[in-house]
C-alpha cells in the first residue's frame, strides 16, 4: 500500500521531464513536460503586480498550456484563505475574475513537519489562460525553524491530474483524480543554485507527496506523506558527488539516489532535482516505479553537515 490537501485554482501547470531554467533564478522539473511546466510566473490574479517568482503552467483541454501561475500568490493563497467555509466545514475558493466558486481547497499545515501541503480540486472549467485540472497538490518547503519559505526563496513540489467530470459546488469530494494516467509530479523554486558549493555530509529532512485523495488513509485533509533523510556530498575528499537516502510513508519505502552536478542539479536513473537557497533546501521527483501512480514529488531543508563556497 502506498500513497502520500487543497483544491482550487485558477492557475496552471505544464511539464518537463528534465530539470530546466524557466526564468530569472526560477528553476524546476516535471515528470511529463506536456502536462506541467515550472517557470517564472506570468499570472498572479490575486496580486497582478506580483509575478516573476516560482510558478507552474498546466495543459488545458485541447493541448494548449495555461499561463504560468504564481504558486505562492495564487493557489496557496486561495487554499490558505478560502472564500467560503460551508456548514460542514468544507472550504471553497472562487475565481478572482467572475467571483464564482471554482475549487474545493484544503490546507494541511501542522507544526513539526518539513512542508505545508495544500490541495485543490477544481469544480468547473475556467477560460484561458487559466489552468484546468482535476487535482493540484502543492508541498511548500519550510526552513529549519519550521517556517514556510517566503516569496523569492520559495521551494515547492507536488502532483497534478487532468479534470474529469468533477463533482461540482456545493457537493464536496476528496477525489482529486490522481488515479488518472495523466498524473504528473513536479517541482519548482526561487533562488535556484547554479553553481554547486562544497557539500560535506549535508543532511536534508524530506517530505514526499503521492496520490493524495486516492484512499481513505491519504485524504487531502490528512495526507499520508513520505518522510526521511537524504545525505549529500559534493567536492568532499574521498566521497562521491552524490545524494541518497530513503523516504517512507505508512505502507511504502523508496530509495532515492542521484549524482550531483556542478550546476546545482542532481540526476539519477529514477531521481532528479535541484538545490535552492545556497543548497539549504532542495526539491525533486522520483519516477522509478511501474507507472504514473508510483511517482513521488519531494522537498526538504538542511538539518546537518556543512555547506562551503567553492573557490
Considering the chain, what percentage of its residues have pLDDT values greater than 70? 92
Task: Determine the topology of domain 198-308 in CATH.
Answer: Porin (2.40.160)
Q: Which of 282, 273, 297 is nearest to 209 (CA)?
A: 297
pLDDT at position 8:
25
pLDDT at 206 over 70: yes
pLDDT at position 311:
64
Give the pLDDT confidence of 4-47 residue by residue, as tens digits.
322 223 232 333 333 433 345 999 999 999 999 999 999 988 88
pLDDT at 48 over 90: no
pLDDT at position 46:
84
pLDDT at position 215:
87
Radius of gyration of the chain (CA): 18
pLDDT at 176 over 80: yes
Look over the chain and give the mean of its residue pLDDT values, rounded to a whole number.
Answer: 91
Give the pLDDT confidence of 251-269 residue by residue, as tens digits.
999 999 999 999 999 999 9
Phi, psi of 180 (to 5 degrees): -70, 145
CA distances in angstroms from 40 to 68, 225, 310, listed in the order given? 7, 27, 28
pLDDT at position 1:
36
Give the pLDDT confidence of 85-126 residue by residue, as tens digits.
999 999 999 998 889 999 999 999 999 899 999 999 999 999
Give the pLDDT confidence of 218-234 residue by residue, as tens digits.
999 999 999 999 999 99
Give the pLDDT confidence of 127-159 residue by residue, as tens digits.
999 999 999 999 999 999 999 999 999 999 999
Q: Which of 113, 168, 133 is nearest to 58 (CA)?
A: 133
pLDDT at position 11:
30
Domain residue ranges of the chain, discontinuous segments joined by + = 20-189, 198-308
Amino acid at each position: 500500500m502506498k500513497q502520500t490537501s487543497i483544491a482550487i485554482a485558477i492557475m496552471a501547470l505544464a511539464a518537463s521531464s528534465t530539470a530546466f531554467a524557466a526564468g530569472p533564478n526560477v528553476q524546476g522539473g516535471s515528470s511529463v513536460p506536456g502536462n506541467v511546466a515550472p517557470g517564472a510566473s506570468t499570472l498572479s490574479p490575486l496580486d497582478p503586480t506580483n509575478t516573476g517568482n516560482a510558478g507552474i503552467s498546466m495543459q488545458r483541454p485541447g493541448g494548449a498550456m495555461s499561463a504560468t501561475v504564481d504558486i505562492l500568490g495564487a493557489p496557496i493563497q486561495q487554499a490558505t484563505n478560502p472564500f467560503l467555509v460551508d456548514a460542514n466545514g468544507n472550504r471553497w475558493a472562487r475565481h478572482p475574475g467572475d467571483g464564482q466558486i471554482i475549487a474545493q481547497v484544503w490546507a494541511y499545515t501542522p507544526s513539526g513537519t518539513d512542508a505545508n501541503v495544500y490541495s485543490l480540486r477544481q469544480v468547473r472549467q475556467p477560460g484561458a489562460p487559466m489552468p484546468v485540472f482535476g487535482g493540484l497538490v502543492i508541498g511548500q518547503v519550510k526552513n529549519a525553524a519550521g517556517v514556510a519559505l517566503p516569496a523569492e526563496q520559495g521551494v515547492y513540489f507536488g502532483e497534478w491530474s487532468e479534470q474529469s467530470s468533477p463533482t461540482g459546488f456545493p457537493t464536496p469530494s476528496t477525489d482529486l483524480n490522481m488515479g488518472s494516467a495523466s498524473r504528473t509530479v513536479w517541482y519548482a523554486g526561487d533562488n535556484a543554485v547554479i553553481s554547486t558549493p562544497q557539500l560535506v555530509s549535508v543532511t536534508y529532512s524530506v517530505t514526499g507527496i503521492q496520490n493524495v485523495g486516492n484512499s481513505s488513509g491519504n485524504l487531502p485533509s490528512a495526507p499520508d506523506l513520505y518522510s526521511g533523510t537524504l545525505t549529500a556530498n559534493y567536492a568532499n575528499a574521498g566521497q562521491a558527488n552524490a545524494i541518497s537516502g530513503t523516504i517512507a510513508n505508512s505502507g511504502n519505502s523508496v530509495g532515492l539516489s542521484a549524482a550531483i552536478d556542478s550546476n546545482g542539479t542532481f540526476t539519477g536513473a529514477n531521481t532528479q532535482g535541484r538545490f535552492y537557497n545556497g543548497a539549504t533546501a532542495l526539491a525533486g521527483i522520483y519516477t522509478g516505479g511501474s507507472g504514473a501512480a508510483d511517482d513521488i514529488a519531494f522537498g526538504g531543508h538542511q538539518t546537518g553537515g556543512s555547506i562551503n563556497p567553492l573557490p
